[in-house]
Amino acid sequence: MLFLLSPAKSLDYDTPLPAGLPHTLPQFVPQSTQLIEVLREKSPQDIASLMGLSDKLAALNVARYQVWQPKFTAANSRQALLAFNGDVYEGLQARTLAAPDLDWAQHHVAILSGLYGVLRPLDWMQPYRLEMGTRLATAAGSNLYQFWGSQIAEHLNTRLRADTTPVVVNLASQEYFKAVDRKQLKARVIECVFEDWKGGAYKIISFHAKRARGLMARYAITHRIATPHKLEAFDLEGYTFAPASSEPERLVFRRKTA
């Protein structure tokens, strides 16, 4: 099985990394380089308008595009799972994972990315901002979905090739999962839905749902989850499986108190 995650807008390149942490290199560097070349043509004002950023954030990211290079080093990069710092990754708490856990994650977790396509947890990553939904025009079309086309799905197929019954567990947002060409993907897709009790009903509350995706990824990593059925035992931070509200391809988890 492969567990898909979205990236995070917030990055952490300051917290010291564990000693001896292994790394790998991203697998779509030529494509990333093409996108960087397009981004380098944009002014801070262009980036602010294109991405809906403040002037300060636009200037920061224009500077990032300028220094980005196709050679990844310890000086300009860090492992993706430890670089992202949003709600999902606060739930995942990658820095507390043991070395065998990180090794398992490397083979069973994939992080979708507007710039890098797909990142493995230990892939080196240079800092960037490029949401998958950005309408960045390239030679391939008017947005990043057209740029990536079927490449991401084909990459996932390759990673799942050894599985007799390939399964993708989607813990990514719809914005990112839309980049996976379902017609080309040769795997069963399972969605995990996290609901909290509020105002007399169970609802998806964005902040809690994002954190829960990270919790589920952590649960899968630490428990070495290999079949969809075993996901139903997920019980972190008060969530429990709701069988009556679930379907085979849509697993619902609920809790009454955050």
Provide the b/e sequence for 62-87 (b: ≥16 CB within 10 Å).
bebbeebeeebeeeebbbbbbbbbbb
**In this model, does residue 19 exceed pLDDT 90?**
no
Query: Are residues 230 and 220 in contact, defined by beta-carbon separation less than 8 angstroms?
Result: no
Q: How far apart are the first and last CA of the chain?
A: 29
Angle at 150 between CA 148 and CA 155, to 5 degrees: 95
Closest CA to 191 of 165, 211, 168: 168
pLDDT of 45 > 70? The answer is yes
Q: Output the pLDDT for position 208.
A: 97
Q: pLDDT exceeding 70 applies to what percent of the chain?
A: 100
Question: What residue ranges do the domains of the chain occupy?
Answer: 2-10+78-255
Q: Decide: 192 and 253 in contact? Cβ < 8 Å.
A: yes
pLDDT digit string, tens, across residues 107-131? 999 999 999 999 999 999 999 999 9
pLDDT tens digit sequence for 211-229:
999 999 999 999 999 999 9
Model pLDDT for residues 70-80, shown as the tens digit of each residue: 999 999 999 99
Instruction: For 163-214, write each residue's pLDDT tens digit.
Output: 989 999 999 999 999 999 999 999 999 999 999 999 999 999 999 999 999 9
In degrees and rounded to multiples of 5, residue 186 shows phi and psi of -105, 60
User: What three-state secondary structure class fits 170?
Assistant: strand
Share the mean pLDDT of the chain: 97
pTM attached to this predicted model: 0.96
Using alpha carbons, select from 214, 211, 7 the residue that is nearest to residue 92: 214
Mean pLDDT of 135-148: 97
pLDDT tens digits, residue range 226-245?
A: 999 999 999 999 999 999 99
* 203 CB neighbour count, 10 Å cutoff: 14
Residue 231, both tokens: 């996901």
User: What pLDDT does residue 258 have?
Assistant: 62
Name which of 120, 53, 114, 118 is nearest 81 in CA terms: 120
Q: What is the dihedral of CA 89, 110, 258, 14, to 10 degrees?
A: 0
Is pLDDT above 90 for 257? no
Burial class (CB in 10 A: 0-12, 13-18, 19+), 30: exposed
With H, G, I as helix, E, B as strand and everything else as coil, classify residue 247. strand
